[in-house]
Structure 1
Amino acid sequence: MPSARPQVTILVANLPAERDRRVIRECLSLEANGFDVTVIAPRGDPKLKILPNSRGTRLKPYPVKVYGSGVLTFAFEFAWSFLCVAFRLLGEIFAGRAHAVQVCNPPDIYWPLALLFRAIGRPWVFDHHDLCPEVYATRSGTPVGAVYNTLVAFEWLTLRTATAVFATNESYRSNALARGVKPEKVTVVRNGPSASEIRPGEPEPSPGEHTIVYLGVLGPQDNVEGAVLAADELTRLRPRNDWRMVIAGDGESLPALTKLAADRGLGSVVEFTGWLEGPAIDALLRKATVAIQPDLPTRMNNLSTMAKTVEYLGRGVPVVAADLIETRRSAAEAAVYVEHGTAHEYAAAIDALLDDPAARGRMREAGLARFAQELSWEHQSRGYIEVWSRLLAKRLRRSTAANG
């Protein structure tokens, strides 16, 4: 029998639930504030039925038949995802759950379900993770044409059919307003870890060498190749036994990146760890001297907040990044900015920082202050929960009354 607590169903299409750190934080915040949660997402660990470290967030995974790498395979992947999500969501409704839905993109294809769900009088909330038209333009180099225009139309429909929208930064909020969403329907909820995920205390640098870290997804649009090439440039600026670069993450570019590092003879200075979970991320960043955000100055990157950057700031790790609008809004004085995002620029900036402990100290304090005062999940979750408490106010009151 379903619980008396209001129940939120979260839909995710591009990651297993246990790998999506934003969704994990959202689930834990909902649980802590009187909601029950179910997540429908691609299957990851087949043994998981409950989200790790949660009170009882239910996982309803679906199998992934193929991952897209071109227009046709992406179309098949998205169609399969739509059918699987729709089937499981109907099951949640018939089971007496799914009092409201949060859909996370990419892709922006679930607006037909939004129309049906809102027709039965239940809230449908869009959590805007990525600008899908800009992701396509970055990956394909084609910011025009039928596919791009279709993605713009799907984004418009996704935004306009939602009861409320969570935007990950001010640029995404402006994008929603430009698509015709009313300002009162859009709430900015940034990405970033909670203070509880970060072990207190001073950093623990690796003895005898500096550690340069990249943390995040390894996809074509992330330009992690730029980090590897920066390491290659750095070998000509300082001794190899003085530093190492650790690339932590997984994604479709991993085989090409490991080959690039091998071809450049960087095996002694570039390490690939694969995907890391929370405690391992914290341990790695506590050892880091400098972190790199190698994203190129594209429209998508200018308007996007990189989750990895807030992870860096939360541990006081100085950042080297291209000069991007939202990166400056996040990092402010905790980063060194390069103009074009070339490997030479990144290497030169890293080299200078490694030789300047005073600058690193100032950047560390600036990053920690930005995190403590604005960027941590504790700050972001307030607006997130306020929206849900408003949308499901009647069910929350009934739940409170039923529990005495």
Structure 2
Amino acid sequence: MPGRALILVENLSVPFDRRVWQEATTLRDHGWDVEVICPRGTARDTEREATVDGVRIHRYPLQAASGGPQGYLKEYSAALFHSVRLARAVHRRAPVDVVHLCNPPDLLFVVALVLKVLSGGRTKVVFDQHDLVPELYLSRFRPKRDALYWALRLTEFLTYRTADVVISTNESYRSKAVGRGRVRGDRAFTVRSAPALDRFKQVPPEPELARGKEHLLVYLGVMGPQDGVDYAVRALARLGERRDDWHAAFLGGGDAFDDVVDLAHRLGLDDRVTFTGMADTPDVQRYLSTACLGLAPDPLNPLSDLSTMNKIMEYMAMGLPMVSFDLTEGRVSAGDAALYARPNDVDEYASLVSDLLDDPVRRKQMGEVGRARVAGALSWSHSQSSLLAAYATVDPARR
């Protein structure tokens, strides 16, 4: 057995966090003894402890933040307290060889330092950078680099410095690690997120989901202020001025959910859009199997331009073409499976959606391109190889 790995994640519960679950099960399949510390879910993953498919999961109670940065400080402080408490208990039971930190926040390096002290320096650290937190702050709260932005840059740098290996979701993130993080190139790996194709399977379409219209449009994903759902709603209002042969469904939730529902109401879209809230796998399959295109409205901001959006990968897994704003990593992911509007231009976005609705042949071709990409070059099998290569550098059996 290579060793014992402890994965820490604060953003989502496990196994609901699909990236973390893929990583955990990949390591398990290659001989690692894997445990996970994460928050409890609300509708799922609610048990305090569980063993799922051989992975032991420890969950703690956590109140999600609301409001401004102060709410996140409270949430992250509670998460750090519970993570330290549970990590010490796991290590006392059997020493942890590798602690795997998934951000946000960039505070979990404190847990890693505790384990390093307890192990006499033998515990190694893998930093799994899911988000660029300083850019997230600029995109969500402040357009300017204030004192809190620089504090976030400091905690990010301390996390880079604590890590023995950094794994990034794309090449843009990896370049940040090597550049501002001063991580050696041979210690920086790209492990792209990839949809589990066994989850994204076509099922018989259900035309009634389109509420009597010819076309169903779908948004799938988180609804935060930085995710551009308001751009999608405004683009649909423009689309509604041109044609009425469509209905749109928004699958997901987040702290911008109420705001975008209110926006849709104010724009007169109550009978044109459905907001389902958080959707489980069967509903995701139903809606995406019925839809004719996916909405990827992430606007140009410091975070989204450099980030790989899960929704894009998931649309492609279902063979759905999409319309996106023209973002650096969006093009890397989607390629010819998307049409690209000028960043943040809702008029052009609506025009491209309309063009695609009128061209079923092109939609089919784009969907086939996307499915081939996630089944081939962007598949988890490629990411899996990179993950295992990263772990090979900290494998206690090879030291």
TM-score by length of 2: 0.91
- For each residue in 1:55-77, what CA deviation from the matched residue of structure 2 results, as whole angstroms up to 9, or x when unmatched? 12222111114524222222222
User: C-alpha displacement at 1:25, in angstroms?
Assistant: 1.5
Supply the AA of the counterpart residue of 2:14: A
Q: Distance in 1 between matches of 2:166 and 2:285?
A: 30
Q: Distance in 2 between matches of 1:282 and 1:388?
A: 33
Greater shift in the superposed pair: 39-48 or 96-105 = 39-48
**Aligned match of 2:76:** 78
- Partners of 1:250 and 1:199 in 2: how far apart? 22
Residue type of the alignment partner of 1:196: D
2:235 aligned to which of 226, 230, 239: 230
Q: What is aligned with 2:187?
A: 185
Separation in structure 1 between the aligned mates of residue 58 and residue 111 of structure 2, nearest angstrom? 17
Cα drift, residue 167 of structure 1: 0.3
Secondary structure of 2:377 counterpart: helix
Letter in 2 for 1:24: W
Aligned CA-pair RMSD: 2.1
Superposition pairs of residues 241-252 of structure 1, within 5 angstroms = 242-252=245-255
Deviates more, 1:183-192 or 1:57-66: 57-66
Partner of 2:50: 50
Q: Which residue of 1 aligns with 2:323?
A: 320
Greater helix proportion: 1
Question: Cα distance, 1:5 vs. partner?
Answer: 7.0
TM-aligned CA distance change 1:145 to 1:38, over 3 Å = same
Structure 1 position 176, deviation (Å): 0.3
Q: Is the 8 A contact 1:303 1:326 kept in 2?
A: yes
List gaps (5 residues or longer) in structure 2.
none
Q: Classify 1:378/1:195 alpha carbon distance in 2 versus 1 (closer, same or farther; 3 Å).
A: farther
CA-CA distance at 1:33 after TM superposition = 1.9
Match of 2:389 among 376, 386, 390: 386
Partner of 1:210: 215
1-structure distance, mates of 2:11, 2:364: 37
Residue 22 of structure 2: aligned partner: 25
Tell me the distance in 1 between the aligned counterparts of 2:58 and 2:48.
10
Aligned partner of 1:155 in structure 2 is: 156
Query: Aligned letter for 1:31?
Result: R
CA distance in 2, matches of 1:276, 1:101: 31
- In the TM superposition, what is the alpha-carbon distance from 1:200 to its structure 2 partner? 6.0
| Residue 401 (structure 1) aligns with | none
Number of aligned pairs? Answer: 388
Of 30, 35, 47 in structure 1, the residue corresponding to residue 32 of structure 2 is: 35
- The residue correspondences of 1:94-243 to structure 2 (distance < 5 A) are 94-119=92-117, 120-178=121-179, 179-199=181-201, 204=205, 206=207, 209-239=214-244, 242-243=245-246
Greater mean alpha carbon deviation, residues 355-364 or residues 192-201: 192-201
- Corresponding letter in the other structure for 1:218: M
Residue type at the aligned position of 1:238: R
- Following the alignment from structure 1 to structure 2, what is the Cα–Cα distance between the partners of residues 194 and 378? 10
Contact in 2 for aligned 1:17/1:59 (Cα 8 Å) = yes
Residue identity opposite 1:176 in structure 2: A
CA shift for structure 1 position 116: 3.7
Following the alignment from structure 1 to structure 2, what is the Cα–Cα distance between the partners of residues 31 and 343? 45
Q: Is the 8 A contact 1:314 1:376 kept in 2?
A: no
Aligned partners of 1:200, 1:33: CA distance in 2, in Å? 30
CA contact (8 A) 1:49 1:60 kept: yes
Residue segments in structure 1 that go unaligned for 5+ positions in a row: 398-404
Cα distance in 2 between the residues matched to 1:345 and 1:214: 18
Displacement of 1:40: 1.0
Q: CA deviation at 1:293?
A: 0.9
8 A contact 1:321–1:341 mirrored in 2: no
Aligned counterpart, 1:402 = none
CA distance in 2, matches of 1:39, 1:301: 28
User: TM-score under structure 1 normalisation?
Assistant: 0.90
Which one-letter code corresponds to 1:206 in the other structure?
P
Change (3 A) 1:68 1:37: farther
Question: Quick one: structure 1 residues 75 and 48, their matched pair in 2 at CA, closer, same or farther if it must change by over 3 Å?
Answer: closer
For 1:400, the equivalent position in structure 2 comes to: none
1: distance between equivalents of 2:202 and 2:40?
Answer: 34
Q: Deviations over 1:31-83 (max 9, x none)?
A: 222223222111114336336xx412222111114524222222222222111
SS of the residue corresponding to residue 49 of structure 2 reads coil
> Percent identity among equivalent residues?
36
The 3-state SS of whatever aligns with 1:367 is helix
Aligned to 1:254: 257
